[in-house]
Structure 1
Amino acid sequence: MAGEKDKPKVPKPRQIPKYMNFIIGGTSGMMAISLVQPADLLKTRMQLLGPAGKNMTFIQVARDIVKKEGVLGFYVGLSAALLRQATYGTGRLGCFNAMFDWHKANRGVPNFPTKIVMGMIAGAFGAWIGTPAEVALIRMTADGRLPPEKKRNYKNDNARRRHINIMEGAGATVSRAMVVNGAQLGSYSQAREMLLPFMYDGLPLHAASAMIAGFITTVASLPVDIVKTRVQNAADKSTGQLQVLRSVIKNEGFMTLWSGLMPTYAKIGPMTILIFVFLEQLNKLYFKVTS
């Protein structure tokens, strides 16, 4: 007993305060979207092509953007994208952490299926509070493809206040967020588990797992994403998700639901990696500054 008393106490590892997790999480998302915004804009433009442009490739769409709007056209809607990360990203992180901490304190560490459900709930919550920025982002990125007489010329995030119901398409946005969070969490964990025997636990493993998860998430979520985009950009505000889905399949074909697959994957894969890289670096910076 005396020997146990003489043992030096091992200091508990430092933890980042909960409020800083919100700040760092949101900041990481904003930094990541700043780099992948061109791919996101390209994806949105392809989803809005309609029957007349269903045979256009993402390279052709990209050339059309450069021709009509210049290179800076790829960053149209960046302010709304940043606002979306500040709301959706932060809300999702906060909600998931709150549920995880409650479950751990009352019922123990959650199992894998429970984490998936928690991720879906957190994604739905984050998407709901992030819908105004999401709608503004869709409208701003879509505005550039319109003829001059029909453009609304949105500036910064004032698209939230002009011609827009800020909760437009909230149901579609939440549906997509639930699919994305469920697919991303499940596939990332499974890919990481399968690759771990062949790779050491470090950045290469995380990057490879994220790219696999990104592709699976893209395939699973793109139909919901396209419906969401069409609902939010529809002229008739009473247009519902099922109505848009039937219209797309009937008029443009079933495979149109995966229009913009490569640009979407080009965003989701690197976006996942960048968020975790920035998150880790910001965590280290916090400990360095506060030490």
Structure 2
Amino acid sequence: MAKTQKGDKALHSLFAGATAGAIEAFITYPTEFVKTRSQFGGKKEGPIAIIRETVKTKGFGGLYSGCTALVVGNSVKAGVRFLTYDYFKRKLSDSEGKLSAPRSLLAGLGAGMTEAVIAVTPSETIKTKLIDDAKRPNPQYRGLIHGTVQIVKQEGIAGIYRGLFPVMMRQGANSAVRFTTYATLKQVVQGTARPGQPLPSAITFGIGGIAGLVTVYTTMPLDVVKTRMQSLSARAQYRNSFHCAYRIFTEEGLLKFWAGTTPRLTRLVLSGGIVFTVYENIMKVIGNSGEETS
């Protein structure tokens, strides 16, 4: 019976996380598009200029170039993230089921590393190449499936795993910071303002948003290196992630590591609010207490 309940909880966590990830990715995708475009080398473009130029030349749909890759990848990523975080959380909790902040950080790190290998690197590599290709006068990729086939044909499976190391570093840091910030703030709010009571969606959204904000500023350099390593010109420009970071620092300056902060901040603040709120509400609907991320 206990084994069945654990299996049910795992499936519930996977389903709720995957659904939350897909919804969040679609809603916030234009900010991801702008963030990715602003991190490529060459001419410096501000968020408004990128939006204006894209809509003018490609129409509003241009802001969704590469969207399918991210929605599918984000769905799998979020499902894996919550599933593995819950697994590591159970393993690292004390005898009373409580998780200290350092152990929450470790659980989040493990979840982030796992999702990077299984879902994030392939989906983000494809998404980044599709966005990079879309700004060319004559794009070579006709969509997700055609683009993926062409990338694999030209570069092999390694082509969709470009930038694995910086993605693992970014996702590990992302999940570690986000889950720890969220869990800590949630415990503080429940312990002071609403002891023993479930939090309303508005408060969950707010806590998730703050977790997203903290995550952005602490992990932005890793995100910039990840984007450069997944661009179409990466093989010709960079030997590895460290060489990429060195060239960015010496040729473009320290501040370039925070390029795309505004659109990524917009996305992750919304993302944190949307994902945790949708996740917890789905868990409540399908019979769980909604405490899986506490």
Q: Which residue of 2 aligns with 1:3?
A: none
Q: 1:114 aligns with which of 79, 99, 103?
A: 103
| Structure 2 equivalent of residue 35 of structure 1 | 27
Give the whole-Å Cα distance in 2 for the aligned partners of 1:20 and 1:206.
Answer: 19
List runs of 5+ in structure 1 lacking aligned partners.
1-12
Residues 101 and 184, structure 2, Cα contact 8 Å, conserved in 1: no
The aligned counterpart of 1:134 is 124
The count of aligned residue pairs is 271
Partner of 2:173: 179
What SS is found at the alignment partner of 1:152? coil
Aligned residue number for residue 224 of structure 2: 226
Paired position in structure 2 for 1:102: 91
Look at both structures and tell me which one has the larger radius of gyration over its CA atoms. Answer: 1
Cα distance in 1, alignment partners of residues 192 and 87 from structure 2 = 34
CA-to-partner distance for each residue in 1:208-240, whole Å, 9 max, x for gaps? 322222222111111100100101115353631
Q: 1:52 aligns with which of 36, 43, 46?
A: 43
SS in 1 for 2:106: helix
1:189-208 correspondence runs (5 A):
189-192=183-186, 201-208=199-206
> Residue 8 of structure 1 aligns with which residue?
none
2:163 aligned residue: 169
Pick aligned residue for 1:83 from 47, 72, 90: 72
Paired with 1:229 and 1:110, the residues of 2 have a C-alpha distance of 33
The corresponding residue for 1:20 is 12
Percent of paired sites with the same residue: 20
How many Å separate the matches in 1 of 2:81 and 2:215?
17
Please tell me the root mean square deviation across aligned C-alpha atoms, in Å. 2.7
Q: Distance in 1 between matches of 2:272 and 2:177?
A: 13
Are residue 146 (structure 1) and residue 136 (structure 2) matched? yes
Distance apart, 1:100 and its partner CA = 2.0
Q: 2: distance between equivalents of 1:142 and 1:106? A: 50
TM-score (norm 2): 0.83
Report if the CA contact (8 A) 1:199-1:205 is conserved.
no
Label 1:57 to 1:191 Cα distance change in 2 as closer, same or farther (>3 A): farther
Three-state SS of the structure 2 residue aligned to 1:239 is: coil
- The one-letter code sitting in structure 1 at the alignment partner of 2:149 is R
Give the deviation of 1:108 after TM superposition: 5.1
* 1:108–1:35 Cα change, 3 Å: closer
The answer to whether the Cα contact below 8 Å between 2:129 and 2:232 also exists between their aligned partners in 1 is: no
- CA separation of 1:217/1:235 partners in 2, compared to 1, >3 Å: closer, same or farther? same
Which residue matches 1:159? 147
Once the two structures are superposed, residues 114-151 of structure 1 have per-residue CA deviations (whole angstroms, 9 ceiling, x without a partner) of 11011011100111111211211111122211222xx2
Counterpart CA distance in 1 for 2:166 and 2:211 is 22
- SS of equivalent residue, structure 2 residue 14: helix
User: Any stretches of 5+ residues in structure 2 without a counterpart?
Assistant: 153-158, 289-294
Residue type matched to 1:134 in 2? E
Distance in 2, Cα, partners of 1:186 & 1:282: 21
- Asked if structure 2 preserves the Cα contact closer than 8 Å seen for 1:227 and 1:241, the reply is yes
Q: Does the CA contact (< 8 Å) of 1:231 and 1:239 recur in 2?
A: no
Q: Which residue identity is paired with 2:143?
A: K
Taking the aligned partners of 1:236 and 1:25, their CA distance within structure 2 comes to 32
Name the aligned partner's letter for residue 176 of structure 2.
G
- Counterpart of 1:145, as a letter, is K
Partner Cα separation in structure 2 for residue 198 and residue 58 of structure 1 = 40
